[in-house]
Structure 1
Amino acid sequence: MASKTIHWENRSAFAQRNLWAGILFGLGFVAFIDETVFHQLLHWHKFYDKSTVAVGLVSDGLFHAFSWFATVGGLYLAADLARRQAFWHKMFWGGKLVGGGAFQLYDGTIQHKLMRIHQIRYNVDILPYDLVWNISAVLMILIGVLLISSARRNERVAKGAVINAS
């Protein structure tokens, strides 16, 4: 019973770090997928489409570097949590979905529509692409929030069981 108590105490003490590790990893991972699939493989757009191809390539390179730094930073935090026996899968996955969904929603609304630095795709009816992009982002955020809420409920139940067992 003592090891279970320590495990939940570690999780509780590092709950925010688990959440932020997930958010950082999710943000970086979804940005990496966006960059790899839509920018490099499909050639649908560049990060910044309002200039020359050379500027677009440089902007893609900077965006790719950002995505990798965020992904590696999230994994570094997750590895540190695992070393401390405080890694919390449900909290991390909730954060991962919130971070990924937040990036995608920001990209789809701010960058695509408000700033107009690029669109998902050009020379097609963009509405279906926008709907899929933004609705999937909202779904990721909602599922992530539900996982985080569930993790916090599990934590309260576990703390109550430990207190009642004492």
Structure 2
Amino acid sequence: MSKKVNQSEAGGNASSRYGARNLWSGILFGLGLVAFFDEAVFHQLLHWHHFYDRATTEIGLISDGLFHAFSWFATIAGLFLFADLRRRNALSRGTWWGGVLVGGGGFQLYDGVIQHKLMRIHQIRYVDNVIVYDLIWNVLALVMIAIGLVLLRRSKRQATTERKVQF
């Protein structure tokens, strides 16, 4: 059995000691959440594309299933880390939410640039003026990343200030 981390054992601030775990929990959850949303909405509900569109519909559906499993595992891994941080009283909400936005935006930017344009394994939508969809997709990703980085910087600054006050 593991014991809970209290404030004195963590050097006064449990969340500062577990900063990387807070960040990775958020990144995994954000990546999984955005991938899950992408797969459920754009693949299943709207039928805009499959994860892999360069083969038969059957292969596309299999690739969607594998993509869905990946997003589910990333989401669950992030939630297990989140639960552990809460149990240890080491959750830093600012770091976690910053990680969620960086992870989700990072996945979306990777999807939009690497998978859509470089690898061409699928497009967001098969229409004549796809650039509009691409711009919206990638700009949203950059906005998510930027807000996430602001939250991470703010959270780090706050943790540093709390450590200085304790000494």
TM-score range, shorter chain: over 0.9
What's the C-alpha RMSD, in Å, of the aligned pairs?
Answer: 1.6
TM-score, with length taken from structure 2: 0.93
Which has the larger share of helix?
A: 1
1:83 matched to which residue of 2?
A: 87
Residue by residue, what CA displacement relative to the aligned partner does 1:41-64 show, whole Å, maximum 9, x if unpaired? 000000000000000000000000
2:154 matched to which residue of 1?
A: 150
1:64 matched to which residue of 2?
A: 68
The correspondence for 1:94, drawn from 94, 98, 107, is: 98
1:36-75 paired onto structure 2 within 5 Å:
36-75=40-79
Amino acid at match of 1:69: F
Q: Residues of 2 paired with 1:7 and 1:40: CA distance?
A: 48
The correspondence for 1:119, drawn from 99, 119, 123, is: 123
2:110 matched to which residue of 1?
A: 106
Identity %: 57
1:132 matched to which residue of 2?
A: 136
TM-score, with length taken from structure 1: 0.94
SS in 1 for 2:89: coil
Q: Which runs of 4+ in 1 moved over 4 A?
A: 2-8
Gaps of 5+ in 2: 1-5
Gaps of 5+ in 1: none
Give the paired residue count: 162
Amino acid at match of 1:157: T
2:21 matched to which residue of 1?
A: 17
Deviation at 1:126, TM superposition (A): 0.5
